[in-house]
Amino acid sequence: MRRRGIVLLAIAAVTASTALSGCGGGSEDPAGRTTVTFWQQKFEDYQQAWFKKHVDAYNATQDKVKIDLQVVPADTWAQKLKAAQAAGKAPDIATTSYGNVAPGVAQGQFASLDELLPAEAFTDVKDNVKGFVTVNGKHYAYPMLVEPSTVLYYRTDLVTAAGLDPNSPPKTWADLVQWATKLTKGNVKGMTIASAGPDLGWSSWGLQYNACGRLPVNDDWSKSTATEPCFEKLLDFYKTLYSGGLIPKTPKVGYADGAPYGQGEVAMMAGGSWVIGQLKNDFKAMVPKTAVAAFPSFDGDATKTTATLGGWTLTVDAKSKGKQQAADFVKYLLAGDPALMADFFKTSGFSKYTVRTSVDQALASNPDATSDPFMKVISEKVVPFGRQEPAYPWDISLAFGTAIESAMKGKADVPTSLKTAAAAIDDVIKKQSLAGTAPK
Amino acid sequence: MTALDSRVAAPADPAPDGAPPHGRRRPARHGRDNRTAYLMIAPMVVLLAVFVMWPLVYSLYLSTFKISFYTEPEFVGLDFYQYVLESPRFWESIWVGLYYAVLTVPTGIVIALLLASFIKTLSRRAASYMKTTVYLPAVVSTVVASVLFVFMYQDDGVVNAMLGVLNHGPVNWLNDPSYALPAIAVPGIWLSFGVTTLILLAGLLDIPENYYESAQLDGAGFFQRLFRITIPLLKNVLLYLLVTGFTLAIQLFELPLIMTNGGPVDATMTPNLYIFASFRDLTPYATSFSLTASLMLFAVLGAISLVIFRLVNSDKAIDG
């Protein structure tokens, strides 16, 4: 009996240790290969295919490291990552947005890549993007792409039918409201834009910059500036679109999804540049009838920011046991042969923008890239004026997004909504001790 | 054989001469009985200790730290309790939970009581058919029900189409702060009234028919019979339904997560959804805050259950 118990205990111990070693980062498999876990947030289908293709290729070209690619849906990403971190099983490599780089560094979450990648890897990165992945002079992420958060898409056929000139898109917010009013007919709404607090929290960053030249927090993150009068016109703009019935009141999908435009439910759309890829892949018939333009500025000044430059990077976990192996893969995928990333941008339908000079050069010889009308407009009229995403905690963005939603849906008037947001932001600043912690 | 059985069985072994029966053997038998009883409850005690008590105690301990998975946790005492208590969004979420409970629990019980009374009057075959029909929503997945109702509430959905027949414009059911929670309450009631109906039907069938016959002979009308016989004799069942209904309703999660994601403007942000949304933020603050908010919700739910117990005094047993 006693002997049987000991045997059972031994089996349990072996099973547990096998299970644990299989789940941990930077572990070795029976063939002596180091397994590096790579969590990729789920994006458009073609991206999953692209990542898989190159992970398989990397695994096939060498026998020392095996990259274990796992695709994680966006809506379960945060809780899954936290649970993994709590259990000490965070992925060795993860997709991380620019906005999460600085907060992650503040928590000690990422390994510095300067010690793991050759210096040339970063000299190839464009100067305006380097700052997105640099904290206190060190690089903590390798950038993959940038994509402007807000671009105006419009249906040229409907615009012409409404007696408007498709070659002269709206320049001010007032023009846009006028266009939306004329284009709202029957079941087709004039346009679509975010209307839920969480979506507004991030998709309105560019328009916050446009309205006030700043976000609703002062430069050293010590005080909210949400009650500045310039933000009132931003809330009024959203309120006009919503209360005027110019946008769908019960949207079926979130801001990031361009399906309502692709399905012909709206004549115009505020959407990220990534929607171009969605249209080219899923709604091909809509592409010839679509034009893009920079999102209008409140006063018509096209040089003012209307979009933030969002995008994705790869980061290496600070606790990874295979940091060097993880960094080697990051180098292979993002910082190596420019043809690899050029292939990615081609697959994306040129809906995302390069971060490396050498990839630009690789694309310069590609006639598809140089002649793409969407890419030309966004590269010349949106990207140069785009700003970096804020690095402050999400609670601040959510508080401001909720203020816009509150004003849109009549929960409170514009000044009261902004006052509530300011109080919430000041509360976040106080409780999370943010004053003076803004990255420089 | 349980501990209770052994205690009940003991007096049935009288000593013929007044002396303790089997004086030397009884303690040994008691010991054996106790050991059996402890062994039988041991798995549950161990499971409770491992999966409930220890996590609860450890959570209380952890709530005194600002938790980081990469740096040393920082001891902050009771700071996070203060942060939760000061958080307007936490209290608003409690109110949303209570409002949802008020919308769904009494309505669900009234509908279920009416249905149960109706089923009681039916023939055996018709009652069996009705019971199956009424219980059907309870086996529908909440996720499926949520998606169905989202489609029904669209501008061009069936609900607004019916309103259109009555010459009323489309209502923005899920995106208007005043309508969103009542709109979610409808599938909430639909999903839960099947179980409530069956429980109430069981309670109704337990009330002896001769009570009603006597009351009728004395000239009692429908409402007198309802308020003097049915409801008093269903008191324990109603108490159970109220307590479990309120605590479950306040903890609502899936319906608002799928149908509105807590919006518009937090109008459907129930406490559990609020805690979940807080946890999804990647900062150490958010981790500790959501943990402490969960513990506070535990206290709030306990307090609400206590209030309900106080309001509706429970009777131990009423002889049928």
Q: What percent of chain A is predicted at pLDDT more than 70?
A: 93
Backbone angles phi, psi at B290, to 5 degrees: -70, -35
Which residues in chain B have their CB less than 8 angstroms from residue A188's CB?
Answer: none
Q: Is B289 helix (H, G, I), strand (E, B) or coil?
A: helix
State the amino acid at position B97 in one-letter form.
G
Under 8 Å between Cβ of A308 and A205:
yes
Cβ–Cβ contacts within 10 Å for residue B213, how many?
10
**For residue A100, what are its two tokens?**
């999460």
Mean pLDDT of A375-400: 90
Mean pLDDT of B241-264: 92
Mean pLDDT of A367-388: 86
Confidence check: pLDDT of B266 > 70: yes
Q: Is B263 close to A196, i.e. CB distance below 8 A?
A: yes
- Which residue in chain A has the smallest CA separation from B157? A250
Q: What is the pLDDT of residues A293-326, one digit of tens each?
A: 999 999 999 999 999 999 999 999 999 999 999 9
Which residues in chain B have their CB less than 8 angstroms from residue A394's CB?
Answer: 281-283
Determine the Cα–Cα distance for residues B66 and B75; give it in Å rounded to an integer: 6
Which residues in chain B have their CB less than 8 angstroms from residue A424's CB?
Answer: 88
pLDDT tier at A4, thresholds 50, 70, 90: very low
Task: Look at residue B26 in the predicted model and tell me its pLDDT.
Answer: 62
Q: How far is A274 from chain B (nearest CA, A)?
A: 24
Nearest CB among B83, B155, B287 relative to A82 is that of: B287
Q: Is A393 close to B283, i.e. CB distance below 8 A?
A: yes
Report whether CATH 3.40.190.10 matches the domain A150-306+393-431.
Answer: yes
Q: What CATH architecture applies to the domain A25-147+310-371?
A: 3-Layer(aba) Sandwich (3.40)
Task: Look at residue B156 in the predicted model and tell me its pLDDT.
Answer: 82
The enclosing H or E element of A432 equals none
Strands A27-28 vs A34-41: parallel, antiparallel or unpaired: antiparallel
| CB within 8 Å of A383: residues ≥ 6 apart | A146, A148, A309, A353
Determine the Cα–Cα distance for residues A270 and A389; give it in Å rounded to an integer: 18
Q: How far is B174 from chain A (nearest CA, A)?
A: 7
Q: Is B263 close to A197, i.e. CB distance below 8 A?
A: yes
What is the residue-wise DSSP string for A95-110? EEEGGGHHHHHHTT-B
Cβ–Cβ contacts within 10 Å for residue A336, how many?
15
Determine the Cα–Cα distance for residues A162 and A267; give it in Å rounded to an integer: 11
Q: How far is A163 from chain B (nearest CA, A)?
A: 28
Asked if A25-147+310-371 and A150-306+393-431 have one fold, the answer is yes
Task: Look at residue B10 in the predicted model and tell me its pLDDT.
Answer: 41
Range in A15-19, A423-427, B51-55 with the lowest mean pLDDT: A15-19
Q: Is A198 close to B263, i.e. CB distance below 8 A?
A: yes
User: Does residue A88 come out as left (phi exceeding 0), alpha (psi in the -120 to 50 range) or beta?
Assistant: left
Confidence check: pLDDT of B255 > 50: yes
Could you tell me which residues are beta bridge partners of residue A71? Answer: A40
Task: Look at residue A14 in the predicted model and tell me its pLDDT.
Answer: 39
- Name which of B93, B275, B283 to mutate to probe chain A: the one with the most chain A Cβ atoms within 10 A of its Cβ: B283
Under 8 Å between Cβ of A404 and A299:
no
Q: How far is A250 from chain B (nearest CA, A)?
A: 6
Task: Look at residue B314 in the predicted model and tell me its pLDDT.
Answer: 60
Range in A13-22, A62-71, A330-339, A356-365 with the lowest mean pLDDT: A13-22
What is the residue-wise DSSP string for A263-295? TTSEEEEEE-TTHHHHHHHH-GGGGGGEEEEEP
Q: What is the pLDDT of residues A22-51, one digit of tens each?
A: 444 566 676 778 999 999 999 888 899 999
Domain ranges of chain A: 25-147+310-371, 150-306+393-431
Which residues in chain B have their CB less than 8 angstroms from residue A81's CB?
Answer: 282
Task: Look at residue B313 in the predicted model and tell me its pLDDT.
Answer: 66
Confidence check: pLDDT of B292 > 50: yes
Domain ranges of chain B: 88-311
Determine the Cα–Cα distance for residues A388 and A386; give it in Å rounded to an integer: 7
- Helix, strand, coil shares of chain A as percentages rounded to 5? 50, 15, 35
Determine the Cα–Cα distance for residues A129 and A370; give it in Å rounded to an integer: 22
Distances in whole angstroms, Cα of residue B319 to Cα of each of A31, A291, B206: 73, 79, 10
Which residues in chain B have their CB less than 8 angstroms from residue A108's CB?
Answer: 68, 70-71
Q: What is the pLDDT of residues A244-302, one digit of tens each?
A: 999 998 888 899 999 999 999 999 999 999 999 899 889 999 999 999 999 999 999 99
Task: Look at residue B315 in the predicted model and tell me its pLDDT.
Answer: 57
Q: What CATH architecture applies to the domain B88-311?
A: Orthogonal Bundle (1.10)
A103 closest CA partner among A430, A389, A387: A389
Q: Is B264 close to A187, i.e. CB distance below 8 A?
A: no
Q: Is B22 helix (H, G, I), strand (E, B) or coil?
A: coil
Q: Is B265 close to A197, i.e. CB distance below 8 A?
A: yes
In the block, tokens 């005043």 appear at: B178
Under 8 Å between Cβ of B301 and B247:
yes
**Up-side HSE of residue A421: CA atoms within 13 Å toward CB?**
33
Q: What is the pLDDT of residues B12-48, one digit of tens each?
A: 444 444 444 444 556 677 778 888 999 999 999 999 9
**For residue B142, what are its two tokens?**
């909440």
| CB within 8 Å of A275: residues ≥ 6 apart | A151, A153, A258, A261, A269, A351
Which residues in chain A have their CB less than 8 angstroms from residue B282's CB?
Answer: 78, 81-82, 100, 103-104, 394
Confidence check: pLDDT of A10 > 50: no
Answer positive or negative: Cα dihedral of A146, A151, A153, A159: negative
Arithmetic mean of pLDDT over chain B: 86
**For residue B184, what are its two tokens?**
């979610």
Task: Look at residue A252 in the predicted model and tell me its pLDDT.
Answer: 83
Which residues in chain A have their CB less than 8 angstroms from residue B69's CB?
Answer: 82, 85-86, 90, 107, 109
Task: Look at residue B1 in the predicted model and tell me its pLDDT.
Answer: 37
Q: How far is B264 from chain A (nearest CA, A)?
A: 7
Under 8 Å between Cβ of A198 and A398:
yes
- Name which of A409, A425, A429 to mutate to probe chain B: the one with the most chain B Cβ atoms within 10 A of its Cβ: A409
- Name which of A80, A250, A396 to mutate to probe chain B: the one with the most chain B Cβ atoms within 10 A of its Cβ: A250
Q: Is A196 close to B264, i.e. CB distance below 8 A?
A: yes
Which residues in chain B have their CB less than 8 angstroms from residue A406's CB?
Answer: 265
Task: Look at residue B87 in the predicted model and tell me its pLDDT.
Answer: 92
Which residues in chain B have their CB less than 8 angstroms from residue A402's CB?
Answer: 265-266
Which residues in chain B have their CB less than 8 angstroms from residue A432's CB?
Answer: 283, 285
Instruction: Choose between A15 and B269: higher pLDDT.
Output: B269
Which residues in chain B have their CB less than 8 angstroms from residue A100's CB?
Answer: 282
Mean pLDDT of A139-165: 96
Strands A93-97 vs A312-316: parallel, antiparallel or unpaired: antiparallel
B263 closest CA partner among A359, A157, A29, A197: A197
The enclosing H or E element of B219 equals none
Q: What angle do CA B204, B206, B207 make, to 5 degrees?
A: 70
Q: Is B263 close to A405, i.e. CB distance below 8 A?
A: yes
Task: Look at residue A186 in the predicted model and tell me its pLDDT.
Answer: 87
Task: Look at residue A26 in the predicted model and tell me its pLDDT.
Answer: 61
Q: How far is A411 from chain B (nearest CA, A)?
A: 7
A265 closest CA partner among A183, A347, A175: A183
pLDDT tier at A1, thresholds 50, 70, 90: very low
| CB within 8 Å of B307: residues ≥ 6 apart | none
Which residues in chain B have their CB less than 8 angstroms from residue A86's CB?
Answer: 69
- Which residue in chain A has the smallest CA separation from B154? A250
Mean pLDDT of B177-205: 94
- Which residue in chain A has the smallest CA separation from B66? A432
How far the first Cα of chain A sits from its last, in Å, is 67
Backbone angles phi, psi at A424, to 5 degrees: -65, -40
Q: Is B154 close to A250, i.e. CB distance below 8 A?
A: yes
| CB within 8 Å of B53: residues ≥ 6 apart | none
- Which residue in chain B has the smallest CA separation from A96? B282
Confidence check: pLDDT of A380 > 90: no
Q: Is A107 close to B173, i.e. CB distance below 8 A?
A: no
- Which residue in chain B has the smallest CA separation from A100? B282
Query: How many CB pairs below 8 Å do chains A and B form together?
Result: 91
Confidence check: pLDDT of B304 > 90: no
Could you tell me which residues are beta bridge partners of residue A290? Answer: A155
Confidence check: pLDDT of A135 > 50: yes
Instruction: Tell me which residues of chain A have a C-beta less than 8 Å from any C-beta of chain B.
Output: 78-79, 81-82, 85-86, 90, 100, 103-104, 107-109, 187, 195-198, 248-252, 318-319, 393-395, 402, 405-406, 409-411, 424, 427, 431-432
Confidence check: pLDDT of A11 > 60: no
Task: Look at residue A89 in the predicted model and tell me its pLDDT.
Answer: 92
Mean pLDDT of B122-148: 91
Strands A308-310 vs A151-155: parallel, antiparallel or unpaired: unpaired
**For residue A285, what are its two tokens?**
């018939």
pLDDT tier at A371, thresholds 50, 70, 90: confident
Q: Is A82 close to B154, i.e. CB distance below 8 A?
A: no
Q: Is B265 close to A394, i.e. CB distance below 8 A?
A: no
